[in-house]
A = this chain, B = another copy of it.
Amino acid sequence: MELGKSLSATVLLILCMTSSANGGNILVWYTEASHWINMKPVLETLIDRGHQVTVLTPSVSLFMKTNEPSRFRYEPFNVSFSLETIEAFMEEFLQFSIYEMNQMSYLQIYIRFMDMMKTNVQVSLKYLDGGNYDLLLADPIYPGSDLTAEILGIPLIFSLRFSIANNWERLCGQLPAPPSFVPAAMSKLTDKMNFSERVWNFVFYILQDIVLDNVFWKELDKYYSEVKGTPTSACEMMSTADIWLMRTYWDFDFPRPFLPNFKFVGGIHCRPAKPLPEDMEEFVQSSGNDGIVVFTLGSMVKNITTERANMIASALAQIPQKVLWRYRGEKPKTLGANTRISDWIPQNDLLGHPKTRAFITHGGTNGIYEAIYHGVPMVGIPMFADQPENLSHMKSKGAAVIVDFNSMKTEDLRDAVNTVINEKSSKIDNENAMRLSSMHRDRPMSARDEAVFWIEFTMRNKGAKHLRVQAHELTWYQYHSLDVLGFVITVVLLLILLSIKTCKYCFRMCCNRKRKTKAE
């Protein structure tokens, strides 16, 4: 106690920030695609700071490659399907999402996907036994991490973009979301809603809750109960998370109420641009004052139809900028001399290049955050999942124009690119993109440092229960004070009734006396 006291707060803080007292042993739940891409920079930083990082990895994965050189310790577990199955499923999913967009069916696909990916927690526990982990870090998109953390008796941190209508954050994390100004995730609404939009938002929350309750939670409760051997609520298990690292910030999301254990660390992976390969730099410099446009549809979409590819190529041929297009399909016939296609592009380095004028993007969170970080305005071609939602945020902040992949014509795409580069209005202006960049950078601590701080904090303190609101201990009617309201209204009504009765009684007594007096 005496020693503790004489340490100054400043020294303590510096110590906390520059070194980890003793390297922790962190277990990372498996994930996939952009979720894994986003998780890696934090894990790299944790290793730099002396922690050991063990990644639970399915034997079959599209993005988690245990055979590539890496500083992570992989803990593989066998899954019952082949790489071909998952690739075929993904292809089917993209085909469905891009060409037959239909939101309600998303859930069915997700359920199927989850079913396929469900780890047998009991099996993974066998692998994990004796690992002596200090913390489990998980993107809750794949279920089971909360259950595993409980069984291992270690703290749990979630890293999450969002769930549909924020169902998980609201119902399990107790994140408040008044439907009057907090648009439900995936509703494509903004925080400025007129009456009919508020009605839609309100109904959207309710409908999604009903659907998720009947499809997602019911299914998961059954699975969790099986593993634990007692009736278990999966949402209650999710609510045990110590910290929720949300992958947005107020540059991207709309300001909203939140809780002490929700940390907004959007842009974790953002970093300054590195120099380009020589031939690419040459190509970029050849664009002169017009500059360049960077174009990618993300890591998932590798191919589009020839018709769409030709349409896009012909639009790009009509703009004065040079274009770098990440595209793995056959070379479109209409490709202009100003456009260079390649299998892969150094996206972040290109977006941070001084010559970059616009970013044509499918609207994944990672790509959008790189554009925000470097202050580049966007043309959005949303494909699936959270992409339409993400781009509607950017549009409402005046940093993006959206075109529809299936219905757009050559002139639509061409005009959209010209608009984001040249227009100066409140609706779209590259000054807005620069403003978002400034908002993103101007915060007390970088997103990655903040995420790392809370991960180390949770290990140091063996949890973060003092940041947990008491709302977790209330039923829904207690939370909304409905029992209290009922009681207060009853008491008030009884008091009114009592005063009316008393008045009536007094009045009658009074009248009787008068009558008696008259009679006498």
Contact = CB atoms under 8 A, between A and B. Distances in A.
B478 A198 contact: yes
Number of copies: 2
A112 B13 CA distance: 44
A107 to B, nearest CB: 23
A272 to B, nearest CB: 4
B484 A199 contact: yes
Interface string A178-200: 11110000000001100100110
A452 to B, nearest CB: 10
Contact of A467 (B255, B468, B480, B481): B255
Most buried by B among A1, A192, A485: A1
A254 interface: yes
Contact of A481 (B198, B254, B258, B354): B198
A179 B145 CA distance: 33
Interface residues of A, number: 77
A6 B354 contact: yes
Given A444-B450, A469-B191, A176 B250 contact: no
Interface string A298-330: 000000000000000000000000000000000
A453 B461 contact: no
A121 interface: no
A305 to B, nearest CB: 35
Most buried by B among A5, A270, A273, A434: A5
Interface string A437-463: 111011111100110010001001100
Nearest to A355: B2
Given A180-B480, A255-B466, 20 more contacts: A1-B434, A4-B437, A5-B273, A5-B353, A5-B354, A6-B273, A6-B352, A9-B441, A9-B446, A180-B474, A180-B478, A181-B469, A191-B469, A192-B470, A198-B478, A198-B481, A255-B259, A257-B259, A442-B457, A444-B450
18 contacts: A4-B437, A9-B446, A176-B257, A180-B474, A180-B481, A180-B484, A181-B474, A195-B484, A195-B487, A202-B488, A250-B260, A251-B466, A255-B261, A256-B259, A442-B457, A442-B461, A444-B450, A444-B453
Interface of A: 1-2, 4-6, 8-10, 12-13, 16, 176, 178-181, 191-192, 195, 198-199, 202-203, 250-251, 254-261, 270-273, 352-354, 373-375, 430, 434, 437-439, 441-446, 449-450, 453, 457, 460-461, 466-471, 473-474, 478-481, 483-485, 487-488
